[in-house]
């Protein structure tokens, strides 16, 4: 079965760090770009950032709201993607999803179940 599973969410104080993990199964992970999204309580979807496959250099791009604070990485040998979140703010509180880019047209066809991050003192 093709699936993604996120982990690592929790309650964290403002200014602290947290690392989310996304484990993939059922497909050739290294062939795909991987994205992170988030959804604040009662709000819409926001793209956070992505990492390209190694075939395309493994480069990353980020939303302006997280650039310089968040880092996406990947370990193809373990089929993992990561989202390192530093200098967290209360406005980073959200459900975080990882998702696979199907490749053509950059549509996101496989999603994890989400992990909740709450930033609060």
Q: State the nearest-atom distance from the C-beta of 77 to other proteins, in Å.
A: 26
CB of 16 to other proteins, least distance (A): 25
CA 23 – CA 7 distance, rounded (Å): 8
Nearer to other proteins by Cβ, of 64 and 77: the residue is: 64
| Residue nearer to other proteins on the CB measure, 1 or 121 | 1
What tokens does 100 get?
Answer: 């696979």
Cβ-proximal residues to 46 (8 Å cutoff; 6+ apart), any chain = 37, 38, 39, 40, 63, 65, 94
Nearest distance from C-beta of residue 121 to other proteins, angstroms: 27
Work out whether strand 10-12 and strand 115-119 pair parallel, antiparallel, or are unpaired.
parallel
- 3-state SS of 38-89 is EECCCCCCEEEEEECCHHHCCCEEECCCCCCCEEEEEECCCCEEEEEECCCC
Q: Which residues bind other proteins (CB under 8 A)?
A: 35, 44-47, 61, 63-64, 97, 99, 102, 104-109, 111-114
Identify which of residues 62 and 80 has a Cβ nearer to other proteins in the complex. 62
- CB 114 to other proteins: min, Å: 6
Is the Cβ of residue 13 or residue 40 nearer to other proteins in the bound state?
40
């Amino acid at each position: 079965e093709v699936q993604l599973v996120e982990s690592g969410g929790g309650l964290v104080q403002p200014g602290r760090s947290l690392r989310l993990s996304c484990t993939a199964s059922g497909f050739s992970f290294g062939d795909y770009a991987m994205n992170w999204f988030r959804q604040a309580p009662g709000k819409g979807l926001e793209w956070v950032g992505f990492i390209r496959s190694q075939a395309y250099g493994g480069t990353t791009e980020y939303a302006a709201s997280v650039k310089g604070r968040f880092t996406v990485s990947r370990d193809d040998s373990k089929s993992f993607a990561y989202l390192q979140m530093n200098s967290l703010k209360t406005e980073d509180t959200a459900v975080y999803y990882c998702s696979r880019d199907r490749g053509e047209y950059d549509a996101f066809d496989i999603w994890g179940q989400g992990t909740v991050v709450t930033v609060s003192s």
